[in-house]
């Protein structure tokens, strides 16, 4: 069983009415709430179709970006870590997600205490290691504290650098299987994925790099036909899901869920 993409559980959160006021690197307009929620429902259904037990949390109106639950926690087979988001408006999301994580992990839970910051969108977990890209939301102090935590659990962490003008490390990459990563050329050019097999996003489709392998499915944002076809040719079960509204808030497939198998 590949622990980096084989899961029994997931946690998601319904988009809030306040999501129209969410953070965005480039303002392309506010998301349409009805469409956003319809896409989110399709996403949750796709997770459940793999056989996973999905907990759908209520919307949090005080936190417009809180549907992007991945940034608030890191779920690993040996334990979970509550993050410390780098955007001031998102700091409260960590406390909000804690009860759901505690219910799943019990005593196998730790927390980034600071002063550093780190968000789950900058963390790619593979079968070999944990890759963390420093970014505007994740700093060296946050990476240092996470390294100390996961080292206790026997994981190896490698610190990298997210490209300039890219919000999160996983904006530009995702895990497809134990040996293969979907990536943009601009990220792979740094050599950060040496030793892995790579599939590159097609020209003009860099925004498709953020997908998730969840059991037998690759949840993939709709609207990028050439990259989707490349994954299909490579033998992956591609499930396309609308992401137009989440994308207006810099959100992708991985951002919308916490994926895990609780420790036994």
Distance between CA 5 and CA 13 in Å, rounded?
Answer: 20
DSSP helix/strand/coil, 131: strand
Q: Are 56 and 13 in contact (CB under 8 A)?
A: yes
40, 117, 168, 173: the active-site residue: 168
Query: Does residue 40 carry a catalytic annotation?
Result: no
Query: What are the Cα distances from residue 129, in Å, to 1, 17, 38?
Result: 16, 38, 35
Tell me the C-alpha to C-alpha distance, in Å, between residue 177 and each of 46, 57, 146: 18, 28, 24
Q: Which of 214, 227, 224 is nearest to 258 (CA)?
A: 214
Q: Contact, 39 vs 246, CB < 8 A?
A: yes
How do strand 53-57 and strand 9-13 relate by DSSP bridges? parallel
Is 40 exposed, middle or buried, given 0-12, 13-18 or 19+ CB atoms closer than 10 A? buried
- What is the C-alpha end-to-end distance of the chain, expressed in Å? 15
Radius of gyration of the chain (CA): 17
Asked if 168 is an active-site residue, the reply is yes
Question: Taking the CB of residue 76, how many other CB atoms lie within 10 A of it?
Answer: 21
> Strand, coil or helix: what is 217?
strand
Catalytic residue, from 12, 75, 192, 255: name it.
255
Q: What is the Cα–Cα distance from 133 to 206, expressed in whole angstroms?
A: 18
Alpha helices in 57-163 (DSSP H): 91-105, 140-152
Q: Which residues are catalytic?
A: 168, 255
């Amino acid at each position: 069983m590949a622990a980096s993409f084989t899961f029994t559980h997931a946690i998601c959160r319904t988009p809030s009415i306040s999501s129209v006021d969410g953070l965005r690197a480039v303002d392309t307009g506010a998301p349409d709430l009805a469409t956003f929620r319809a896409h989110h429902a399709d996403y949750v259904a796709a997770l459940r179709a793999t056989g996973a037990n999905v907990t759908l949390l209520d919307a949090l109106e005080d936190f417009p970006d809180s549907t992007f639950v991945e940034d608030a926690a890191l779920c690993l087979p040996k334990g979970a870590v509550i993050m410390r988001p780098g955007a001031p408006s998102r700091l409260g999301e960590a406390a909000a997600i804690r009860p759901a994580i505690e219910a799943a992990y019990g005593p196998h839970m730790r927390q980034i205490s600071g002063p550093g910051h780190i968000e789950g969108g900058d963390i790619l977990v593979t079968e070999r290691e944990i890759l963390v890209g420093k970014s505007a939301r994740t700093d060296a102090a946050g990476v240092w504290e996470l390294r100390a935590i996961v080292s206790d659990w026997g994981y190896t962490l490698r610190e990298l650098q997210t490209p300039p003008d890219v919000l999160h490390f996983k904006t530009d990459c995702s895990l497809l299987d134990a040996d293969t990563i979907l990536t943009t050329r601009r990220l792979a050019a740094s050599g950060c994925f040496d030793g892995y097999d790579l599939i590159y996003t097609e020209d003009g489709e860099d925004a498709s790099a953020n997908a998730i392998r969840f059991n037998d499915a690759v949840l993939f944002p709709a609207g990028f036909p050439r990259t989707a076809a490349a994954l299909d040719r490579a033998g992956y079960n591609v499930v396309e899901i609308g992401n137009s509204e989440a994308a207006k808030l810099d959100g992708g497939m991985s951002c919308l869920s916490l994926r895990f198998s609780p420790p036994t």
